[in-house]
Amino acid sequence: MNNITRMNASLLRSFAIGLGLALVPMSSAIANSYPSTPVSMMVPYPAGGPSDVSARILSVPISKALGAQIVVENLGGATGTIAAAKVLNSKADGYIIFQGTQNELILPPLTNKAIRFQPEDFESLQPITVTPLVLLVRSELPVNTPAEFLELAAQKTSTNSLTYGTVGVGSLYHLITERIAKTAGVPLTHVPYKGTAPVVQDLSGGQIDFSIMPFQASMKEMAKSGRFKIIAVMSKNKPEILKDIPSITETAALKDFDYASYAGYFVKKGTPKDVSEKLNKAIGAALQDPDVIAKLEADGREVAKPMSLEQARTAYTVEVNKYKDIITTTGFKPAN
């Protein structure tokens, strides 16, 4: 080998080594510099709603733990899928996180063929809250317990069945109620609405018989004033504020029912693990803040215990499979 060949070989080796050194630590370098700019917290509903309230409560302590500003961004519409799509159309770099539940992340792609993403396109960072679901009935409906409710429903036929309102076809509340109908063998008629407010309005006015909805502390006062009755919690576990309301599982026909709204923070799949780890720890620290716990619990929500990143992702997989099962059980056919 002549001197020129040796020189070229040496240069190639040096270049290759240098390139290797440049490429190998790239993800670590990104993680070490993260976050260098504000992080967007995407909320899939307008400002002022329950989801937005949670985001405002959590954004400050998360920002403090992360060492960067958290900017809450509200983008409503299409059952949260517009906001979800925006997250997925952004870079997988941790600078945009999604605050969502099964109603925005899991059910839309499973119940509507027009939705272009899948639940697995998101990765869970950390569960944040569990919101109990409650069975509300109009004030004049002659039932006060889950058993009485099922007994009355069984007395009806398809032409005069009890009517229920939800925020839309394929929503969590629609599927749960359809499962009640299938499991208990009773006819029920679905009345879809475009939002929560008109459901509450028509329930209070007696235009529909019942609805399953996420609990808010204000519902206790509304029930007390006679706008509707709260007759069941849709899960085995109940917060202190609902201790006097029976669980739907206390009825023999629905003993296996256990549904709640699980909110958490998510990122686009492919986000560097070191970045996700930083977010996981920052969110976990916020969930242990006494002020955060007090504010969220005051509205009837249970604050989740911090999980590792691996535990959070396993929990999300369990939820996805749970709702795939309910779609199979109810025989729900995805819309085109």
Give me 31's structure tokens.
């993680």
Bridge partners of 137? 210, 229
- Please give the average per-residue pLDDT across 135-156, as a whole number: 98
- The share of the chain scoring above pLDDT 90, in percent, equals 73
Tell me if the bond preceding 187 is cis, omega within 30° of 0.
no
Question: Is residue 16 assigned to a domain?
Answer: no
Question: Is residue 63 assigned to a domain?
Answer: yes
pLDDT for position 29: 56
Domain-terminating residue out of 254, 282, 311: 254
224-to-60, 64, 79, 134, 232 alpha-carbon distances in Å: 34, 40, 30, 15, 15
Q: Does 195 score more than 90 pLDDT?
A: no
pLDDT category at 246 given cuts 50, 70, 90 is very high
Q: pLDDT tens-digit profile of 32-91?
A: 789 999 999 999 988 877 788 899 999 999 999 999 999 999 998 887 899 999 999 999
Give me 1's structure tokens.
């080998």
- Count CA atoms within 13 Å of residue 334 on its CB side: 13
Instruction: Indicate whether 106 and 207 sit together in one domain.
Output: no
Instruction: Indicate whether 162 and 308 sit together in one domain.
Output: no
Q: Does 248 score more than 90 pLDDT?
A: yes
Domain holding 106: CATH number? 3.40.190.150
Instruction: Indicate whether 126 and 272 sit together in one domain.
Output: yes
Instruction: Indicate whether 167 and 208 sit together in one domain.
Output: yes
Instruction: Indicate whether 146 and 247 sit together in one domain.
Output: yes
Find the distance separating the first CA and the last CA of the chain, reported in whole Å. 68
| b/e map 231-268, b = 16+ CB within 10 Å | bbbbbeebbebbeebbbbbebebbeebebbbbbbbbbb
Instruction: Indicate whether 166 and 207 sit together in one domain.
Output: yes
Instruction: Indicate whether 137 and 248 sit together in one domain.
Output: yes
User: 250: closest CA among 135, 102, 103?
Assistant: 135
User: 248: closest CA among 318, 180, 191?
Assistant: 180
Instruction: Indicate whether 136 and 124 sit together in one domain.
Output: no
Distance CA 246, CA 234 (A): 9
Q: Which domain holds residue 292?
A: 29-131+262-330
Write the single-letter amino acid at 267: V
- Please give the average per-residue pLDDT across 310-317, as a whole number: 97
Instruction: Indicate whether 106 and 150 sit together in one domain.
Output: no
Prediction pTM value = 0.79
pLDDT for position 28: 56
Question: Is residue 212 assigned to a domain?
Answer: yes
Biggest CA–CA distance in the chain, Å, is 100
Which residue intervals of the chain are DSSP H helices? 3-23, 26-33, 50-66, 81-88, 102-105, 107-111, 146-154, 172-184, 196-205, 218-224, 273-286, 290-298, 309-330
Question: Is residue 177 assigned to a domain?
Answer: yes
Question: Is residue 111 assigned to a domain?
Answer: yes
Task: Count Cβ atoms within 10 A of the Cβ of residue 281 and give its class: 0-12 exposed, 13-18 middle, 19 or more buried.
Answer: middle
Question: Is residue 101 assigned to a domain?
Answer: yes
pLDDT category at 11 given cuts 50, 70, 90 is very low
Question: Is residue 335 assigned to a domain?
Answer: no
Instruction: Indicate whether 154 and 236 sit together in one domain.
Output: yes
Domain-terminating residue out of 254, 274, 298: 254
Task: Count Cβ atoms within 10 A of the Cβ of residue 223 and give its class: 0-12 exposed, 13-18 middle, 19 or more buried.
Answer: middle
Question: Is residue 305 assigned to a domain?
Answer: yes
Instruction: Indicate whether 249 and 139 sit together in one domain.
Output: yes
Cβ–Cβ under 8 Å, residues 177 and 326: no
Domain-terminating residue out of 254, 287, 303: 254
Domain holding 199: CATH number? 3.40.190.10
Number of domains in the chain: 2
Instruction: Indicate whether 280 and 205 sit together in one domain.
Output: no
